[in-house]
Amino acid sequence: MNNIEVFNKNKSCFVGLRYSANSNDPKSGLFVNDLAGMSLKRFSSLASNEIHRGEDLFKVIHDEAILDVLSDFTGELSELFNFNYTIGKRKIGQIGSTFGVENKDIKRGCLFEKITQDETQKLKIRNLEFNSDIAVDDCSFFIETLAGTEEIKVDVKAGLNRVLIDVESNEDYVYIYTTNCFNIANETLKGCSCSSICEDCSHACGDYYAKPYTEVAAVKTFVANNFIQYNISTICDDYDLISEFASELKFAVRMKIAIKIMTEVLVSDGVHPLVRNGKEDAQTLLTKWTGGVNVITGFKEKSEYARLLDSVTRKAKTYLSNHGGQCVSCNHDVKYFESTP
């Protein structure tokens, strides 16, 4: 799920445009029309050769506004916190080098199991490496989670293979396994087993354990090494943070849409009267929303958008200070909290 979908939550939009056909049931319950100068007619007046309808222009600006607000939101938080992207990288298992008895009846895979409740971490499986005895077209690799099973078709070559997987998941478990298309090279690791000191069945990487296994007749046996090497990372995921505060950012998103539209009015060379005659009003509203000197009163006005954003970032700083986990490290040796005089 991308960041825009987190805001929309199965609706066509997060903030709506009243009287439009496709944006009249917003997730937030807010409509941009309720701000000064905003109307469906205003959007239609700015439609261009590339974007013919006002509703289509609204959709483009709506999605851009969400991404802009998220950038401003995390930018404010980064003044106090560092968002570390990669927590750890690990190569699980060893690649077999010699072929022994035929082993096509053995399925091989790995279980990746989440071991904490930290929702800011997710698993990334980058690629798999192994030696095959033959070349096989369209061999299937499967990635199984609670959400379902995904099949990846791969042309396997004889010899060393590196299969790009590039899967990210924050599920509690992820299985990845192969079908019996070919023989995988084995090698003898003297004295190595799950109970020995040279290797262990569980390999920790961040908040995930990796458990290689073999499977015969639907029976899985966890092993120290199944001769496939799994290249994985544990990375930070801002999904939990965005989900937590998406609804509270609704007023900032609505105003950002209005700011972007009034900016379009200022720079547009359109001949529609709402554009040609609306530039002075657009400048006045932009000064009110983004801050600056009011050309009519001469007084400096504070940014309404910044005020709306700040009210949410204050709560988010407290949230991160209390629930940050490994993905969030404080830049200052200070505990952030809110207080009311």
The domain locations on the chain are: 3-82+240-330, 94-227
Reported as a single tens digit per residue, the pLDDT across 112-148 is: 999 877 778 889 999 999 999 999 999 999 999 988 9
pLDDT category, 258, cuts 50, 70, 90? very high
Rounded Cα–Cα distance for residues 120 and 128 (Å): 25
The yes-or-no verdict on residue 94 having pLDDT over 80 is yes
Per DSSP, 59 falls in state H
The yes-or-no verdict on residue 196 having pLDDT over 60 is no
pLDDT score recorded for residue 300: 76
208: left (phi over 0), alpha (psi -120 to 50) or beta: beta
Cα within 13 Å of Cα(224), Cβ side: 16
Cβ 198 vs Cβ 189: under 8 Å: yes
pLDDT score recorded for residue 184: 87
Helix (H) or strand (E) holding 280: helix 279-290
pLDDT score recorded for residue 142: 95
Six token digits for residue 2: 């991308």
Q: Mean pLDDT highest for which of 51-55, 171-175, 249-253, 301-305?
A: 249-253
The yes-or-no verdict on residue 338 having pLDDT over 60 is no
The yes-or-no verdict on residue 286 having pLDDT over 80 is yes
- 3-state secondary structure at position 239: helix
pLDDT score recorded for residue 238: 83
Q: Which of 102-111, 267-276, 293-302 has the lowest mean pLDDT?
A: 267-276
Reported as a single tens digit per residue, the pLDDT across 32-63 is: 999 988 888 878 777 765 565 788 888 999 99
DSSP bridge partners of 92: 230
Cα within 13 Å of Cα(168), Cβ side: 12
The yes-or-no verdict on residue 334 having pLDDT over 50 is no
pLDDT score recorded for residue 191: 44
DSSP bridge partners of 71: none
pLDDT score recorded for residue 195: 44
Reported as a single tens digit per residue, the pLDDT across 69-93 is: 999 999 888 877 777 678 888 888 8
pLDDT score recorded for residue 323: 75
Rounded mean pLDDT, 215-238:
88
pLDDT score recorded for residue 32: 93
Cβ 136 vs Cβ 156: under 8 Å: yes
Please provide the average confidence, as pLDDT, over all residues in the chain.
Answer: 83
Cβ 100 vs Cβ 133: under 8 Å: no
Give the distance, in angstroms, between the CA of residue 79 and the centroid of all CA atoms in the same chain: 21
The yes-or-no verdict on residue 269 having pLDDT over 70 is no
The yes-or-no verdict on residue 27 having pLDDT over 60 is yes
Rounded Cα–Cα distance for residues 197 and 131 (Å): 26
Rounded mean pLDDT, 166-192:
80
| Structure-token match 């091989």, residue found | 108
| Structure-token match 């609204």, residue found | 58
**Closest C-alpha among 149, 169, 172, 171 to residue 232:** 169
Six token digits for residue 195: 């109970």
